[in-house]
Amino acid sequence: MAEQSKDAAVAGGTKKAGLLNRFDNPWLNWKFLSGASIMGFIFFLIFLGNQFWDTELALAGSSPLNMPPLGFTNWRDQEGIPEHPLGTENSGRDMLALLIVGTPRTIGVGFIAATVGMGVGIFLGFLAGFVGGLVDDVIRLATDVTITIPSLLVLIVIQSVLPYIDLVTMALLISMFAWATPTRYIRAQVLSMRESGYVQMARLSGVPTRDIMYREIMPNLLPYLAASYIGNMTGAILSAVGLELLGFGPQRIPSLGVSIFFSIEAAALLRNMWWWWGIPTVILAIVFIALLLINLGLDEIANPRLRKAN
């Protein structure tokens, strides 16, 4: 018994030590870790904000108008006040409350759209890669056509005709275009894995196709899928921000893109109200850079050749 547990401990120990102490562990990738920490930090700030800041201040008319951030003055020489540390915009919304409420909305649209798109992409990608023939041809054609069409244009046409659209509907509309890139990518990966030794072996051993797909290929694809998912999310947030910059999106409690749209409409640039458009812009930029870092890190984790190049 003691022997056994010692053995197990040694086995477990080496495994654990191997994972944690070795500096060449692929998951100790600085791009992945820094990107993930930035995103984590943003979510932490949103959480803190929801706990300690009055999010009702994101409603119009809840605060004095056009106040600058603390330590700055606006064009009427008003000083920033501690009640509104990041200033307010011209319909009396507190910028800090706007950021706390708006940031998760924008990221959330990307999350929903990317999840739906990815799910469809995994299904169609495996289907095309495994079934082949006519099914593959049809899926490939549909993918090529969908990728060619600039999605924003169709989304604009839809939104201009439909009346008010909530964020979930917007996310689902975006996901109509978010499936194509993952499908194409996963199909290519499946095709190349299908010919690899271990899949051939499994097939010769009589493993059913479904098990080959989900038990043999899927685990090996996971890092690729993760990288592709993050890439997809970036694309979906990009579409969402694009639509929001055109004024489509929640108006009462704006998301980040919509508040930038409001600021452009109100010529905030010329009035030098940089905090109005500038802070949401910088936050969105940081989110995009963090997602890219995660994506690149996952790419390197999945592909040893890229790692070697550093």
Partner 1 sequence: MGVFSFNYLLRRLLVFFLTIWVAATLIFIIPRLAPGDPIGAMIARMSRQEGFVENADLIIEAWRKRFGLDDPLYVQYFRFIGNTLRLDLGYSLANFPAKVSELVGRALPWTIGLVGIATAIFFTVGNLCGALLAWRRTPRLLKIMIPISMTFTSVPPALFSLLLVYIFGFLLPIFPQVGAYGRGMVPEFTLEFFGSVLYHGFLPAMSIVLVTFGFWALGMRGMMVTIEGEDYMILAQAKGLKPFYVLYRYMIRNAILPQMTALAVSIGTLVNGSVLVEIMFTYNGMGSLIYSGIANQDFGLIQGTSFILIVTSALAVLIIDLTYPLIDPRISLEGR
List the one residue from 163, 197, 206, 219 that touches partner 1 (CB under 8 A).
Answer: 163
**Distance between CA atoms of 95 and 103, rounded to whole angstroms?**
12
Task: Give the DSSP H/E element, type plus range, for residue 151.
Answer: helix 151-161
The C-alpha torsion from 101 through 104 and 105 to 108, rounded to 10°, is -160
**For the window 43-82, what string marks contact with partner 1 as x by the rule CB under 8 A?**
----------------------------------------
Exactly one of 128, 170, 260, 279 binds partner 1 (CB under 8 A); that residue is 260
Which DSSP category does 215 fall into?
A: I
CA 91 remoteness from chain centre: 30
Q: Which two tokens stand for residue 79?
A: 């000083």
Q: Kindly list the distances between the CA atom of residue 128 and the CA atoms of 122, 141, 240, 259, in Å, as whole numbers in the listed order.
A: 10, 11, 29, 42
Angle (CA) 241 244 245, round 5°? 85
User: What is the smallest separation between the CB atom of 243 and partner 1, expressed in angstroms?
Assistant: 10
CB of 246 to partner 1, least distance (A): 6
Q: Does 223 bind partner 1 (CB under 8 A)?
A: no
CB of 165 to partner 1, least distance (A): 12
- 34 is an interface residue for partner 1 by CB under 8 A: no
**What is the smallest separation between the CB atom of 64 and partner 1, expressed in angstroms?**
24
* Among 149, 168, 201, 222, contact with partner 1 (rule: CB under 8 A): 149
Among 158, 188, 218, 266, indicate the residue that binds partner 1 (CB under 8 A). 158
Q: How many residues bind partner 1 (CB under 8 A)?
A: 50
Of 202 and 245, nearer to partner 1 (C-beta) is 245
185 within 8 A of 125, measured Cβ to Cβ: yes
8 binds partner 1 (CB under 8 A): no
Restricted to residues 178-217, the positions that interact with partner 1 (CB under 8 A) are 181, 184
Report the nearest approach of partner 1 to the CB of residue 278 (Å). Answer: 7
Q: What share of the chain is helix, strand, coil (3-state, %, to 5)?
A: 75, 0, 25
Tokens of 218: 């899927």
Find the part of the chain contacting partner 1 (CB under 8 A) among 46-54, 57-65, 200-208, 262-270.
262-270
Unique residue bearing structure tokens 């072996």: 201
Q: Output the DSSP codes for 88-144.
A: B-TTS-BHHHHHHHHHHHHHHHHHHHHHHHHHHHHHHHHHHHHH-HHHHHHHHHHHH
Among 46, 152, 172, 188, binds partner 1 (CB under 8 A): 152
Burial environment of residue 270 by CB neighbours within 10 A (0 to 12, 13 to 18, 19 or more) = exposed
235-254 positions binding partner 1, by CB under 8 A: 235, 238-239, 241-242, 245-247
One residue of 141, 168, 201, 222 binding partner 1 per CB under 8 A: 141
Note the residues at the interface with partner 1 (CB under 8 A). Answer: 141, 144-145, 147-154, 156-158, 160-163, 181, 184, 234-235, 238-239, 241-242, 245-247, 260, 264, 269-270, 272, 274, 277-278, 281, 284-285, 288-289, 291-292, 296, 303, 305-306, 308-309
